[in-house]
Structure 1
Amino acid sequence: MSKKFISLCYAITLLIFSLHTLAQEEFSSSQIKQLKNGIFEVVTLKLEDNTVYKEPFPFELLPFQTRNDKYHSLGTAFLIKDNVFASAAHVFDIGSYSLLAKNYALRDGKGNIFKITNVEKYSNYRDLIQFTVQGDTSKYHKFKFADEYEEGDVIYAAGNAHGEGVIFRKGILTSFTYEPIDGKWKNIRFSAAASPGNSGGPLLNLAGEVVGIVTRKSSNENLNFAFPIKEFNTFSSKQAEFYETKMGEFESTKSLRYKWEFSADLPQDMLALRALAEKSFYQRFISGRDEFVEKFKDDLFPNHTKVKKYLKNQSSSTSLSIIDINGNGEWSLIEPDNQKKIKIGKEQSLWFGQSDSMLGNYQFFMEKPEEQKLADFVANKNKILETFLTSVQWNRPIEGTKVYINSYGEPIFEEHYTDNFGRVWQMALWNDQYSNRGIMIYCLPIPQGINCELVESPVAWLEFQKQSYKANLHRMMLSYSAKLNQWTEFLQLPTDAIPQFLQDAKLLLSDDKVNFEVGSFSGSLDNMKLTGDSNFHVTVEINPDDVNELIVGNISFQPNLNEDGIYYVSKYYDLGNDASDNYNDFWHKFTTLKSPYNFEVINEGKINSKYINLGANGKSPKVVGNQPQGVAYLAACKLQSEVKLAEFNAACDSFVNGLH
């Protein structure tokens, strides 16, 4: 026998062996068909979309399957014995409220639906679930669990990738890695591709046995994760396990992280288990807030030692703003950033902005339409939200195209909440069935219309958002500025629409005379060219002597909005050691009647000004309110410099002499 013939035979033998080995590392067509028969979609019935769009919804932009399917595809499950399935816990997310939760089901490859009944195993910590369904599953493939698996094994990830049917993708079991929290077991890492929808599907060896449950995709490399089936097999079926480590409270540079742990007896109806877990999760959120407040009670507003300085030197804003502290321990009022004005009607505008420091996603101030009564305007939350949505061109992206939204319909929930300052916040809530999200607004009526905060959130978090707002409303500040005739209508609103510190306010305009009582300020002003279109501004502050009370710290009148003239009275405090050098200089000059606080007329370019300390050294013509030690009132008059000096002094005297 020649050497060439022997070499040829050897080469053929190697080729046959290689082909045989290769064949062993691939699923056959018949094997795939058999295995696929035991893999199901996790689905939930689509809800009726109550959203009103600017134009007909562009269904043609959606893929055929998505627009024609009456179900949402959520993930994958696989059959392990008659009517019993396994999947990943996060596919069902028991413990989080969802609009879609009532209709969870399984769907086979031919479209047959199986209603989910009882949960037999559950752990969100391990990301596993075992549950039962109604119906006959005897004709479907039941998966066996692998006894052994190791690094280097050829595996297949099977699942409902992108909700478009079950597919198999080949890879390698690359390694084992400790679970990240306590290292109680080792998760499987594998190189087969995984896509959204794969979660809950089986990770299979070449014998078609389950080695793990696909749980998540790596965010930064092509290595995906599966929960090892040995751990699934040994995990107790007596109680559901809920465990969450990423909960926390954050406020005023302080933070507290805490855990949620909960268990419930099994087996149990899925909806019943969900209700128990949701209640426990919510209660943990409330107790976490209580723990946070107890731990940092002396570091939060208004108990922090440096709050006193802020309370005696407060700033104001006519936009909803929030009191917060910076890293240097200085408290200040933070306003929304980059506020924009949108004209939405002949006599109606909208201002809106954003700030990471605020509670919500947007802050907006909306004027009422001129022809509408203020009481009717502030009561119609549906119209308020619709106007906001259309004005800011609220939209959802569909396949790269913006689809504009006009309305979410009537609110599903409304309530009034009175904060510890006596302000009645009007809240309304809408659900967006299309996205399983919600929109919530918290609003205060104002003389010109309404001022609101808007938050968009997954519906699972809306109850938590409600409580977060209620816990922080005492840090939300708002001053008021409007025309005198708008104030007159505002003060006629029902009592629960007016903040407590303004409920006794009086404002009467007749001819050129204004009688007013607002907080500690009152007067009868005459011969000052005040009309219904003149502006009246009220600065709202927290009482430095009682942090649970709001007071009026400043008032001002602007006779003509098109001119620079203004008259105001402000309340100031002796800050003592808390004062800056500039403030100490002001306080000294102010209380000793040094220039410019010595009744002289000051030319400030286009404006003539006169500053008067009411009551200082007994020289003022009027004393405003009861002035305790360390408190003083500054009255000021400002008019355009072209106004004759005699006319300026006469107008200023009318203002000061009109103060009570």
Structure 2
Amino acid sequence: MKALKNTMTVVWVGIFLYLTGCAGLPGPASKNVSLGSRVMDTISEAVYEVVVLKPTKDSLQYEKPLPMDLIPYSIRTDKYYSIGTAFAISPSEFVSAAHVMNLGSGSQFKEAFLRDRQGKVYAIEKVLKYSKNRDFIVFSLRNARVEKFLSVNKSPRVNQKVYAVGNALGEGIVIRDGLYTSDTPEEEAGEWKWIRFSAAASPGNSGGPLLDRDGKVIGIVLRKSPGENLNYAVPIGEVLRARPNLAVIQMKIRYILDNMDMTQRETLKKEIPLPKTYEELNNEINAIMAEFSDKLLKNLLAEHRDTIFPRGPGSTRLLHKTYHAVFPHLIVKTKDGNWDAYYPRETREAVLGNNGRLVYGSLGSAVFMYIRKPDDVSLETFYGDSKLFMDLILKGGGRYREIGPESIKITSMGRAFEDYRFTDSYGRIWMVRTWLIEYNDRKVVTFSLPVPGGCIVMMRTDQTGSADQGDLPDLKVLSDFTYVSYFGTFKEWREFLSMKDLLPSLFSTLDIQIKNNEMFRYKSKRFSLSYSPDIMKISDNSDLRLHFGYFQEQGRTVLDITEIGIAEDKFNQIGYTVSRVMKPPKELGDEYQNHWENMVEGRFPYNRSAYHKDKVTIISATYRRGSKLEKGDGPSRSVLYTVGFIKEGNIDQKEMDAKLDMLMRNLVVDEEGEELSPVRAGPSK
């Protein structure tokens, strides 16, 4: 089993929360700093924390009270999270890094504020300049003008001493010195040059000023340089030269799906007139990002339509296969260019009580699950109660909140924030649900597909905006590539078939009747079979499995039942199988060709000869149109059916042959309107 690579969908800049906020700003601390006292006073007045309000709502429930006393007093009593730094460059203009302000990330934190050293909080009034690629923002504050602000130096010199000023993880303003080492062209087209410097900078420094030896601003601290002990800043000259009253959105975005190597990379370019309020600009950028993400995904699927399953090269093998997918599989393009169905390399199982269980494992960026509901929960309740559904996942899978050194188990996320249905391309109805995790701006997304006795699930957890613009669209696409069998006891099937609003469209063409101790009947447009208790016992514990396959029909790909398995009891190995097999094209090689020829010619194992394997006895035969499959008839057929019977123990030929014949007499195949009558044939000598 090959492990699937973990991939991202759209790369989004989200808020990074420092759960160590502070109540107010002390004076600046210095690390080997030699700035004058007047400059230090100006820094104290002109540099601010960027903060967001802590959420007042927590939808989560925990196994015990959160030990908030493990968090320092000043942090746990603060109403805000500290997320970065900003500074004043005039009485009414303030500057920070664009990524600090979280615009366009779809965050649950709807507004950012500035907080001064006395702890006073200011709301943003208008955004005056904004650049996504240069990573800066200029804005004004509501009802606020300042007396002290930082002067600027638009022409700094390399190899001079510099000072990085910023909020050090919410613990106050810290100044660290270093060297302005070089200018480096921006990565895409070299339109400007980044400042690289050696002064230490922590995440909280983002948006803070980079000062020269005279305390003048030469840049805005942004990020660490990859692979070296240097940091980046955008020159303040780039900020001052930028066109006023304009927001520029320019960024390269790559869209990739978990199950394929094809990608879609395009550059988003958009200009938005300013000034605008924080809320107005945030909403507009969110809408632009959502529209562009949707466009990327549509372009990806359209441009690669002829290379993606089921149309693409390498699809043939899977179009002639049937998997017993008790645990959900994902159809993936492999390194050799073929498409095949995969399940996780490792899965875990948890007991949910009352015969309920959860099996889960990772595939790509999602967790795949099979949930068998507890016996004391009706299927209607299980499908209808989103709180109960997630509670069972949390009970079996486990999710924790870190408080200091402790991990506190989450026992409930409450009712779903969003709850609706989505129908995939093959008519399967998925229940789509989301839950908000307010304290860290994340969203849980589940796509669950009802099956007898429970459901299968795809789940992702991501930053809120990334979940909305990346994970939800991704999972809608991946639902078409999810491969699963439907299985359960007759009791579970009766309950499942009563949930008519959630049944796949294919089931509207099926007639499945189950009457304990009387009869079982299955009828589709392709074949029908029935049996009574004199052939095999019929009870609540009898078992039915429907296995699916993809194949071409009338110019389109369908997902239909290609194998049915019925068993006397889920606790033993006595039962029948009926399989639909398509004639393989020559490109599939000898294994497929030999298997087909064995069916056509009635060779082993399809010659009604009983054989023993793994403590059971098996007998199989090809369902035949005439007294024999004559050479002129067999090779011309595109579809054949086989019938098998299995029974525990070492059973003699005569009994196995009789059992097989009983079902063969009750099987009628009607493929493409042509009825094919069963004919008895004896075992090969």
Contact 2:435 2:443 in 1 (8 A): yes
Q: How many angstroms does 1:80 deviate by?
A: 1.6
Q: SS of the counterpart of 2:602?
A: coil
Instruction: State the match for 2:18 in structure 1.
Output: none
Q: Give 2:243's aligned amino acid.
A: S
Kindly tell me: are residues 363 and 220 of structure 1, through their superposed partners in 2, closer, same or farther at Cα, counting changes over 3 Å? same
Q: Which among 266, 271, 275 is matched to residue 263 of structure 1?
A: 271
CA distance in 2, matches of 1:606, 1:207: 87
Q: Give 2:184's aligned amino acid.
A: T
Q: 5+ unaligned residues in a row in structure 2: which ranges?
A: 1-31, 630-634, 669-685
Find the structure with the greater CA-based Rg.
Answer: 1
Q: SS of the counterpart of 1:319?
A: coil
Q: Which among 24, 31, 51 is matched to residue 60 of structure 2?
A: 51
TM-score (norm 1): 0.91
Matched, 1:369 2:378: no
Q: How many angstroms does 1:273 deviate by?
A: 1.0
Matched, 1:609 2:618: yes
Kindly tell me: are residues 605 and 278 of structure 1, through their superposed partners in 2, closer, same or farther at Cα, counting changes over 3 Å? closer
Instruction: State the match for 1:300 in structure 2.
Output: 308
Q: Give 1:568's aligned amino acid.
A: T
Instruction: State the match for 1:248 in structure 2.
Output: 255
CA distance in 1, matches of 2:658, 2:601: 25
Q: Which among 503, 514, 517 is matched to residue 511 of structure 1?
A: 517
Q: How many angstroms does 1:282 deviate by?
A: 1.3
Q: How many angstroms does 1:595 deviate by?
A: 2.9
Q: Which among 225, 234, 243 is matched to residue 218 of structure 1?
A: 225
Contact 1:323 1:331 in 2 (8 A): yes
Matched, 1:89 2:98: yes
CA distance in 1, matches of 2:94, 2:40: 19
Instruction: State the match for 1:153 in structure 2.
Output: 160
Alignment of structure 1 residues 189-204 onto 2, 5 Å: 189-204=196-211
Q: SS of the counterpart of 2:204?
A: coil
Kindly tell me: are residues 628 and 438 of structure 1, through their superposed partners in 2, closer, same or farther at Cα, counting changes over 3 Å? farther
Alignment of structure 1 residues 46-445 onto 2, 5 Å: 46-47=54-55, 48-101=57-110, 103-138=111-146, 140-250=147-257, 252-356=260-364, 360-445=365-450
Q: SS of the counterpart of 1:294?
A: helix
Q: SS of the counterpart of 1:485?
A: helix
Which segment drifts farther, 262-271 or 220-229? 220-229
CA distance in 2, matches of 1:188, 1:306: 49
Instruction: State the match for 1:475 in structure 2.
Output: 481
Instruction: State the match for 2:40 in structure 1.
Output: 32
CA distance in 2, matches of 1:579, 1:220: 47
Q: How many angstroms does 1:105 deviate by?
A: 0.8
Contact 2:154 2:235 in 1 (8 A): no
**After superposition, what is the alpha-carbon deviation per residue over 1:138-170, rounded to whole angstroms, capped at 9, x for unaligned?**
3x4111112432122222111111111112112
**After superposition, what is the alpha-carbon deviation per residue over 1:104-142, rounded to whole angstroms, capped at 9, x for unaligned?**
11111111111111100100111111001112333x411
Instruction: State the match for 2:461 in structure 1.
Output: 456
CA distance in 2, matches of 1:220, 1:306: 39
Which is bigger in relative contact order (C-alpha 8 A, separation at least 6)?
2
Instruction: State the match for 1:13 in structure 2.
Output: none
Contact 1:415 1:428 in 2 (8 A): yes
Q: 5+ unaligned residues in a row in structure 1: which ranges?
A: 1-23, 621-626
Q: How many angstroms does 1:648 deviate by?
A: 3.5
Q: Give 1:473's aligned amino acid.
A: S
CA distance in 2, matches of 1:183, 1:400: 45
Coordinate RMSD, CA, aligned: 2.1
Contact 1:320 1:453 in 2 (8 A): no
Contact 1:429 1:441 in 2 (8 A): yes
Q: Give 1:98's aligned amino acid.
A: S
Contact 1:365 1:452 in 2 (8 A): yes
Contact 1:253 1:325 in 2 (8 A): yes
TM-score (norm 2): 0.87
Kindly tell me: are residues 585 and 628 of structure 1, through their superposed partners in 2, closer, same or farther at Cα, counting changes over 3 Å? closer
CA distance in 1, matches of 2:208, 2:169: 13
Q: Which among 593, 598, 618 is matched to residue 589 of structure 1?
A: 598
CA distance in 2, matches of 1:234, 1:171: 26
Q: How many angstroms does 1:643 deviate by?
A: 4.2
Q: How many angstroms does 1:270 deviate by?
A: 1.4
**After superposition, what is the alpha-carbon deviation per residue over 1:606-658, rounded to whole angstroms, capped at 9, x for unaligned?**
222211111154359xxxxxx99311000001112344655434433322222
Q: Give 1:613's aligned amino acid.
A: T
CA distance in 2, matches of 1:230, 1:335: 54
CA distance in 2, matches of 1:423, 1:407: 28
CA distance in 2, matches of 1:385, 1:158: 45
**After superposition, what is the alpha-carbon deviation per residue over 1:238-294, rounded to whole angstroms, capped at 9, x for unaligned?**
310111113233453222211111110011111111111111111111221232233
